[in-house]
């Protein structure tokens, strides 16, 4: 509607001008045939004339033309815009906008094809670049960025100075720089534009530079003098002999090989008296026998001759294989190579930082999963195979809370302490009922807690089903923090990292600065002596185990936000968690931090070397850890002195 | 005074006698003899159970006698299965391919046959190349050698590293578990060369003996499993008795003291670990042709923990206990999960054992660890004491 009003306004304002200058219709009439039946090539002239006229009618006309709303009246050859169709067609005059009626059979439609319509669209872009409506200007800039065509450079550069919006101006300048690198008239201008792109690591700049450096493979007897050669390919090192010959065949410089299937088919077709070309059929079970028979057939003219290996290698040796830049000017490709190298250095740097952030967040997830274990296993020496199931219980607690509290922020705030309470209770119950009786039999603790683990896992399966349950994070944790086109980290990972830091601080505080922590350390070092000092070891063990389990519950909520909640999620983390604690060094919270960092960074590092395969990364990481344990059996942060005694 | 090995170990005679009787009775009742009371599929279940008993015995030797809680012996079992499975799959595919190519007008070249076999086997993981580890797959003898060598060498290398640096107790358990996890993850990859997630299948068909009915094949494997179990039992009973057995048990009870007595503890440990791994591999090589399929899921760490569960329920430190535990738990387990156990209707809720069996197993396992640390085997002690 707005567009119609502004159109009408524009038309009304321009009516007086029509009286003493060339009308729009006049220009169209000079190109009558091209307007009616536009072709991809001929349309350029029309568009140039229309744009050069500077008439404001050009924009609505071009839009209507692109949308196939332009008709010619057969009786006088004038062009009109279709406003409404019916028994009689309502037409609009292109200069005045006046409406008039015409019979349908008196009109011929102009039907521009897809290519023409694109050309019209490109011509429209330069008008839209200066449109008062910022949305349309942005759309025009985006359209240019999509098509990246030479014709858009000049209008884009022309529109930069008048651009009122600073952000869009910035975008236009960037885009003009990229276009100039590709299409500027003078070589010096292009080289300057390319140099300006150097070091920019956005994806579109890299695409421009790569486009400048795109190559084709070619083959010739000698390298032609005008080719901008990127690389001469050595047969045997850069390409294999058979690839080289295939290129010769593709370039029609050598006869095609006869494929094995054809040889076979020709042999089968020429069997006579159990012989082919004098060779008995039973001798055709080897390549040599088949070639012998086939060569005989070829000599008799029954099949195309086989290309012998000697011929192949001679043909390959007689030619040069190389890749050439599509851009003919070597100065430009050199400049682009320099710019791309600078860009790639920056990209590599950013990727390294991004990888570091990824590794950091993976390390904090491992740390969260293992920190509870660092207390129960590391400090108390209890192997709790059900630790993973405490993580799972925490995650399911979060899920259940979300069923009752629809507000995600509030539900997480409720779920965190509730998960702690529930898993603390479960941990205390387990310690009282099972582990208490097994303190002197660590291997049996492992098995008993494994029994609890499979029972809890199956219980969760029975209650919640086998499908993954969602634990939705609050809205303010959606999205990612973007530093540039390469470095990005999602807020949820930052939250997990912060949570891991908080946990580290809390646990260090509890163990080192509180009465409970003192008693815990006393009991783990020497229960008998601690008991004689008036500490109740039973109570301390119970509380410590509860604390470790409760922390696993909170970790479960955090991990559930990041991964799906299933009954098997605990089992996924249990082996890694134990390795984290063992690698880091038992009995030390700092050790767990070191272990989690080592494993997180190692896994990401291996994944970076072999990005397609996370399974392989995990395999190699475990192998590394097995070897690592050989050289530092006590872990990274080993306890010394009496505390280290088993 | 030195008594003979058998007189020292009356349980060996009992075990062999019962095993022989069981084998004969099952063979007579099978479809092969014409009686047909026991179905072929149940014969396979029994044969598989015997293999599980054998691997449980190896676990008992390494854990119950030597005190190493290895969570990797089921991985050795799986490696044995993979080694024999490679030959079974290759040889059978080769026969099928040659048969289908024989109908063509001219004989096929060796390369064509190899390509067709590769396509058949590896088409499922989008490849047709033979990986390096399949080099010996065409030779039954070499693959049988692999059944012994691969688990043996892996255990030797791993054990040498672990025992040399004095990794003991729960650390060793976690380390073996890590080894098992690494192996399972490796096999899960499609480019591991062992068909990734799909594993090896069709192993129940013995190449070249297509006309032999499955009933006969199953009884042959059943008897072979029984013989292997019997031989393994005698072998390990011999190892754990006598002077070496005493050293091994000494390591379990107090490793430091055995060191001080001048024994090279790590050599004994390495020997026990490697030998049991080899026997576990043999058990796997007998098990998987009866199961028909092997995939990496079978090797996952949890399987090795279940192995420990069987041994603990059966009773550690006595070989027959491990065999009884494995047979009892795996048979009861398949009875419950196979829908054999009647569901219990509590009025407000029906307990379906397919869902609740694992819960029951988990908690009964806790109960066994807490209240019957000697397991089912402990019951025999009670009987003996009453007799004497």
For an interface test with B, the pick among A440, A443, A587, A624 (most B C-beta atoms closer than 10 Å) comes out as A443
| Burial tier of B349 (Cβ tally within 10 Å: 0-12, 13-18, 19+) | exposed
Would you say B144 and B282 are in contact if contact means Cβ atoms under 8 Å apart? Answer: no
CB contact under 8 A, A286 and B110: yes
Are A36 and A54 contained in the same domain? yes
Task: Determine the angle formed by the axes of helices A569-584 and A537-562, rounding to 10 degrees.
Answer: 120
Q: What pLDDT, on a 0 to 100 scale, did the predictor assign at position A21?
A: 58
Q: What is the DSSP letter of A222?
A: S
Shortest CA gap B130–chain A (Å): 20
In a domain, A339, yes or no: no
Highest mean pLDDT among A130-134, B285-289, B354-358: B285-289
CA dist B316 and B59 (Å) reads 9
Q: How far is B353 from chain A (nearest CA, A)?
A: 11
Tell me the per-residue pLDDT of B259-270, one tens digit each, with 9 for 90 and over. Answer: 999 999 999 999
Q: In total, how many domains does chain B have?
A: 1
Same domain, A108 and A228: no
Quick one: A204 and A221 in the same domain? Answer: no
Q: What are the residues whose beta carbons fall under 8 Å from the beta carbon of A361, sequence distance 6 or more?
A: A489, A493, A494, A496, A497, A600
Query: Cβ separation of B359 and A613 shorter than 8 Å?
Result: no
- The answer to whether position A331 is within a domain reads no
Cβ-Cβ contacts under 8 Å, A571 against chain B:
302
Can you tell me the distance from the alpha carbon of B362 to that of B354, in angstroms, rounded to the nearest whole number?
Answer: 14
- Cβ within 8 Å, pair A264-B309: no
For residue B3, the model assigns a pLDDT of 63
Residues 223-282, chain B, touching A (beta carbon < 8 A)? none
Domain count along chain A: 4
Q: Do A285 and B364 touch (CB under 8 A)?
A: no
pLDDT digits (tens, 9 = 90+) for A257-270: 888 888 888 888 88
DSSP 8-class letter at A87: S
Specify whether A158 is located in the same domain as A270.
Answer: no
- Out of A317-326, A519-528, B249-258, B345-354, which region has the weakest mean confidence (pLDDT)? B345-354
Which residues contact residue A433 at a Cβ distance below 8 angstroms, ignoring those fewer than 6 apart?
none
Domain assignment present for A332:
no
Q: Is residue A30 part of a domain?
A: yes
Among B109, B167, B178, select the one facing A579 at the smallest CB separation. Answer: B178
Subunit contact A455:B165, Cβ cutoff 8 A? no
Among residues A169, A193, A214, which one ends one of the domains?
A214
Of all residues in chain B, what percent carry a pLDDT higher than 90?
Answer: 37
Give the CATH number for residue A433. 1.10.3470
> Are A197 and A231 found together in one domain?
no
Based on the fold, state whether residues A502 and A633 are members of the same structural domain: yes
Choose the final residue of a domain: A214, A247, A271.
A214
Residues A182, A192 share a domain: yes
Same domain for A148 and A199?
yes
Of A120, A145, A165, the domain-final residue: A120
A207 located within any domain: yes
Beta bridge partners of A490: A480
The two beta strands, A480-482 and A488-490, are antiparallel
A619/B302 touch (CB, cutoff 8 Å), yes or no: no
CB B300 within 8 A of CB B185: no
Q: Both A200 and A221 in a single domain?
A: no
A149 and A39 assigned to the same domain: no
If contacts are CB pairs under 8 Å, which of residues 164-203 in chain B contact chain A? 164-167, 169-171, 173-175, 177-179, 181-182, 185-186, 188-189, 191
Q: What is the pLDDT of residue A640?
A: 60
Same domain assignment for residues A574 and A596: yes
Question: Using CA atoms, how far apart are residues A545 and A521, in angstroms rounded to an integer?
Answer: 13
DSSP string for B80-128:
HHHHHHHHHHHHHHHHHHHHHHHTSSSPPPHHHHHHHHHHHHHGGGT--
In chain B, the percentage of residues whose pLDDT exceeds 70 is: 98
Residues in chain A with CB shorter than 8 Å from the CB of B359 are 455, 458-459, 462
Of A447, A461, A631, the CB nearest to B369: A447
ipTM: 0.83
CB contact under 8 A, A582 and B174: yes
| B369 in contact with A, Cβ within 8 Å | yes
The answer for B 278-337 residues in CB contact with A (under 8 A) is 301-302, 305, 308-309, 312
The domain of A306 spans: 216-325
Chain B CB contacts of A583 below 8 Å: none
Provide the pLDDT for residue A15. 45
Q: Exposed, middle or buried, A534 (CB in 10 Å: 0-12/13-18/19+)? A: exposed
**With contacts defined as CB-CB under 8 Å, which chain A residues touch B296?**
none
Note which residues in 284-303 of chain A have CB less than 8 A from chain B.
284-287, 290
List B residues 82-111 in contact with A (Cβ-Cβ < 8 A).
104-111
Strand A480-482 to B200-201 pairing: unpaired
Mean pLDDT of B142-147: 92
Task: Say if A512 falls within a structural domain.
Answer: yes
- CA angle, A361 then A367 then A372, to 5°: 150
Q: Which residues of chain A have pLDDT under 50?
A: 1, 11-20, 644-646
- A225 & A186 share domain: no
Tabulate helix, strand, coil % of chain A (nearest 5): 65, 10, 25
Q: Cβ of A72 under 8 Å from any chain B Cβ?
A: no
Q: 442-461 in A: which are within 8 Å (CB) of B?
A: 442-444, 446-448, 450-459, 461
Q: Do A285 and B309 touch (CB under 8 A)?
A: no
Q: Do A458 and B312 touch (CB under 8 A)?
A: no
Instruction: Give the C-alpha separation, B149 to B135, whole Å.
Output: 15
User: Does residue A337 form part of some domain?
Assistant: no
DSSP string, B290-349: HH-EE-GGGGSHHHHHHHHHHHHHH-TT-HHHHHHHHHHHHHHHHHHHTT-SPPEE-SS-
| Domain containing residue B364 | 5-387
pLDDT digits (tens, 9 = 90+) for A198-249: 777 787 888 888 888 888 888 888 877 777 888 888 888 888 888 888 888 8
- What is the interface size between A and B, counted as CB pairs within 8 Å? 157
Residue B156 has pLDDT above 90, yes or no: yes
Q: Tell me how close the Cα of B285 comes to any Cα of chain A, in angstroms.
A: 24
């Amino acid at each position: 509607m707005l567009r119609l009003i502004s159109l009408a306004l524009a038309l009304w304002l321009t009516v007086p001008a029509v009286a003493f200058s060339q009308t729009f219709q006049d220009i169209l009439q000079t190109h009558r045939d091209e307007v009616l039946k536009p072709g991809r090539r001929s349309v350029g002239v029309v568009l140039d004339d229309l744009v050069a006229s500077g008439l404001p009618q050009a924009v609505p006309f071009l839009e209507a033309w692109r949308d196939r709303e332009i008709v010619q009246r057969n009786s006088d050859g004038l062009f009109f815009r279709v406003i409404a169709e019916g028994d009689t067609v309502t037409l609009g005059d292109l200069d005045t906008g006046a409406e008039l009626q015409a019979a349908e059979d008196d009109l011929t439609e102009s039907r521009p094809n897809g290519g023409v319509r694109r050309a019209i669209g490109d011509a429209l872009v330069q008008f839209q670049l200066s449109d008062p409506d910022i949305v349309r200007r942005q759309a025009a800039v985006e359209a240019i960025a999509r098509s990246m065509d030479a014709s858009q450079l000049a209008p884009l550069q022309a529109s930069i100075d008048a651009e009122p919006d600073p952000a869009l101006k910035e975008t236009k300048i960037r885009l003009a720089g990229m276009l100039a690198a590709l299409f500027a008239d003078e070589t010096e201008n292009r080289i300057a534009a390319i140099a300006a792109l150097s070091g920019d690591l956005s994806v579109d700049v890299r695409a421009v530079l790569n486009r400048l450096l795109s190559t084709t493979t070619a083959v010739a007897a000698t390298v032609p003098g005008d080719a901008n050669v990127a690389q001469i390919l050595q047969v045997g090192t850069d390409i294999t002999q058979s690839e080289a010959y295939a290129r010769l065949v593709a370039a029609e410089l050598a006869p095609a090989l006869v494929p094995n299937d054809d040889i076979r088919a020709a042999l089968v077709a020429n069997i006579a008296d159990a012989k082919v070309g004098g060779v008995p059929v039973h001798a055709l079970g080897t390549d040599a026998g088949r070639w012998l028979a086939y060569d005989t057939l070829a000599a008799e003219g029954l099949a195309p001759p086989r290309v012998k290996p000697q011929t192949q290698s001679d043909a390959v040796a007689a030619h040069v294989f190389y890749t050439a830049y599509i851009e003919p000017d070597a100065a430009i490709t050199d400049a682009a190579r320099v710019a791309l190298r600078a860009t790639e250095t920056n990209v590599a740097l950013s990727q390294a930082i991004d990888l570091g952030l990824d590794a950091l967040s993976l390390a904090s997830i491992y740390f969260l999963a293992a920190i509870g274990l660092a207390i129960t296993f590391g400090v108390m020496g209890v192997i709790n195979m059900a630790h993973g199931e405490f993580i799972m219980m925490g995650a399911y607690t979060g899920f259940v809370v979300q069923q009752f509290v629809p507000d995600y922020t509030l539900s997480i705030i409720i779920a965190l302490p509730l998960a702690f309470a529930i898993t603390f209770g479960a941990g205390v119950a387990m310690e009282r009922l099972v582990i208490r009786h097994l303190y002197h039999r660590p291997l049996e603790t492992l098995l008993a807690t494994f029994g609890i683990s499979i029972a809890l896992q199956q219980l969760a399966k029975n209650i919640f089903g086998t499908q993954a349950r969602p634990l939705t994070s609050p809205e303010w944790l959606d999205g990612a923090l973007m530093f540039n086109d390469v470095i990005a980290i999602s807020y949820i990972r930052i939250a997990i990292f912060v949570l891991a830091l908080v946990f580290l601080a809390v646990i260090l505080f509890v163990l080192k600065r509180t009465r409970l922590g003192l008693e815990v350390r006393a009991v783990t070092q020497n229960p008998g002596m601690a008991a004689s000092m008036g500490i109740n070891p039973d109570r301390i063990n119970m509380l410590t185990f509860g604390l470790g389990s409760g922390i696993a519950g909170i970790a479960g909520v955090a991990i559930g936000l990041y991964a799906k909640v299933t009954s098997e999620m605990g089992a996924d983390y249990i082996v890694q968690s134990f390795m984290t604690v063992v690698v880091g060094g038992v009995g030390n919270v700092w050790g767990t931090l070191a272990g989690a960092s080592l494993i997180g960074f190692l896994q990401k590092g291996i994944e970076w070397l072999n990005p397609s395969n996370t399974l392989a990364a995990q395999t190699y990481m475990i192998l590394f850890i097995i070897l690592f344990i050989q050289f530092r059996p006590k872990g990274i942060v080993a306890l010394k002195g009496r505390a280290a005694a088993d | 005074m030195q008594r003979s090995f058998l007189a020292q170990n009356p349980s060996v005679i009992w075990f062999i006698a019962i095993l022989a009787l069981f084998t004969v009775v099952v063979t007579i009742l099978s479809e092969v003899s014409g009686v047909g009371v026991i179905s072929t599929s149940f014969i396979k279940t029994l044969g598989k159970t015997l293999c599980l008993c054998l691997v449980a015995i190896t676990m008992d030797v390494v854990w119950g006698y030597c005190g190493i809680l290895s969570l990797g012996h089921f991985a050795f079992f799986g490696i044995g299965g993979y080694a024999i499975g490679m030959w079974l799959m290759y040889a059978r595919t080769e026969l099928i391919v040659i048969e289908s190519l024989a109908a063509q007008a001219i004989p096929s070249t060796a390369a064509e046959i190899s390509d067709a076999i590769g396509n058949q086997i590896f088409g499922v993981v989008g490849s047709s190349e033979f990986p390096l580890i399949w080099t010996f797959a065409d030779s039954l003898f070499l693959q049988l050698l692999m059944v012994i060598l691969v688990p043996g060498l892996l255990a030797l290398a791993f054990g040498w590293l672990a025992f040399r640096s004095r990794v003991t107790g729960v650390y060793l358990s976690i380390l073996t578990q890590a080894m098992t996890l690494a192996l399972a993850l490796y096999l899960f990859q499609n480019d591991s060369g062992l068909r990734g997630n799909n594993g090896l299948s069709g192993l129940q068909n013995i190449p070249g003996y297509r006309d032999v009915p499955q009933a006969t094949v199953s009884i042959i494997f059943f008897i072979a499993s029984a013989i292997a179990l019997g031989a393994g039992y005698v072998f390990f009973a011999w190892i754990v008795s006598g002077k070496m057995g005493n050293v091994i048990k000494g390591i379990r009870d107090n490793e430091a003291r055995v060191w001080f007595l001048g024994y090279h503890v790590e050599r004994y440990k390495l020997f026990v670990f490697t030998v049991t791994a080899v026997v576990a591999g043999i058990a796997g090589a007998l098990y998987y042709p009866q199961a028909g399929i092997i995939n990496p899921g079978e090797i996952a760490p949890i399987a090795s923990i279940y192995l420990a569960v069987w041994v603990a329920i059966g009773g550690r430190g006595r070989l027959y206990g491990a065999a009884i535990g494995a047979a009892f738990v795996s048979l009861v387990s398949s009875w419950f999960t196979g829908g054999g156990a009647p569901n219990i209707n509590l009025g407000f809720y029906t307990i379906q054992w397919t869902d609740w069996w694992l819960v029951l197993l988990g908690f009964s396992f806790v109960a066994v660890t807490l209240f019957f640390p000697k397991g089912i085997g402990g019951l025999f002690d009670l009987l003996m004491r009453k007799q004497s």
